[in-house]
Amino acid sequence: MIASEYISKNILDTNLYETFSLVRTVQFVLGSCRVDVTDRFVSLPTVYQKIHTLLMLLIVAMLYVAVHFTYLSKYTVNANLHKGAVSTLVIHFLAYLFNIIHVRFVNNIRNVEFVISMQELDRSMKLEHNNSINSIVRKISVISTTLLTLGLIATIVTATVFLAMPVMLIVVTVTLSEVTNILDLSHCSTLMAYYTIRIRFVNSIIDNHTTRISKYDSYDTIIYSKNYMRELAAKTHDLRYSDTDIYLKEIIKSFSKFRSLYQFQMLVFICKMITAGAIYLQVVTTGLQFNLIGILEWITITSFVLSNMCVALFICIRCEIFLREFKETKQLCLSVMSVYTNGPIRRKAKKMLRTIETNPPRFSVYGMWDIEGMYLLHLFSTITTMFVTELQLLLL
């Protein structure tokens, strides 16, 4: 009986399975998928999948070693420049190494439990058969995964066909490791949208009760408009009969699992972004003095800066939207409590307020900082200050 219950929990509903099927397939090829999903059955990564990951790790490591001996030799004319170039290479490899080990070999059981918690959340909210809700997340996931995959393939093909061997090695190596890391962070950003949509759905249930909905004739978009969400909520849910307090509790519970699994990736990403950016500045400044910075270096540095800034931007914006939805939840609960002086609806709203205050849904990175909209400004401010200080030390 217990075994059959465990098996039934591990079988994913079709909607949830299809929502993240593309990103899961690409991550499987790159050896960075957190779980194994075969015939909709989610389980730990198999031994063969872990061997595949080790082979990918070995290939990337050999590529980085090859880059060191074939391309970085031109920087030996200056010791500081050579150390900076080698340090940059090491940082990129360590970020890839830490990420691939963490997603594949650490927290295997917790990764499975997290996927199951997502399914339990949808079932508790009666959304497991709601194609419209999951189609929005599916669009976000498919677009981001497709762009990254096409970018990886196009870069590798172009480098293989048109570039010389030393240059081709560094382009393929850095692109392969960076896309693997960015794909995982892109999936993290998509999951933030997944939770935002569900808390917005809860808000729509409450909002429909306080302000009766009229026919908006809206349609689903990639930005999941509030009008469309209110229409979906009005068709299947009513505040008087829906357990919105339980929905909110399950959202925060599942989000806590998500945060504990992805905070390591955020820590590695931020540390790599700041450290590599500082070393890149030193390499560029010194390289210009010795006329060693060519078009490849400018393309590599620009691609690194822009791609990491875009990832940070998307994650921070989606975290900010998620937090604002919870602020709206609190306002809606207070509005309901101002109308009802007693009764089950007031008790339901009071429970929701207590849940939010007891377990604030913030994406905290090991308690050191919170990922939100303002953090992006703080991060850019820190990087800018560091760049100005470093330029003063190098040029003055």
List CB contacts of 370: < 8 A, sequence separation 6 or more: 362, 363, 364
- pLDDT reported for residue 97: 93
The arithmetic mean of pLDDT across residues 245-266, rounded, is 92
Burial class for 100, CB neighbours closer than 10 Å (0-12, 13-18, 19+): buried
d(C-alpha 86, C-alpha 89), whole Å? 5
> What is the rounded radius of gyration, in angstroms, for the C-alpha atoms of the chain?
24
What's the total number of domains in the chain? 1
Tell me the pLDDT tens digit for each residue of 330-380: 999 988 888 888 888 899 989 999 999 888 888 888 888 888 877 777 777
Which position has the higher pLDDT, 114 or 234? Answer: 114
pLDDT tier for residue 394 given thresholds of 50, 70 and 90: low
CA distance 394 to 396: 6
Q: To the nearest whole number, what is the mean pLDDT of the chain?
A: 84
Range of the domain at 36: 2-395
pTM metric for this prediction = 0.88
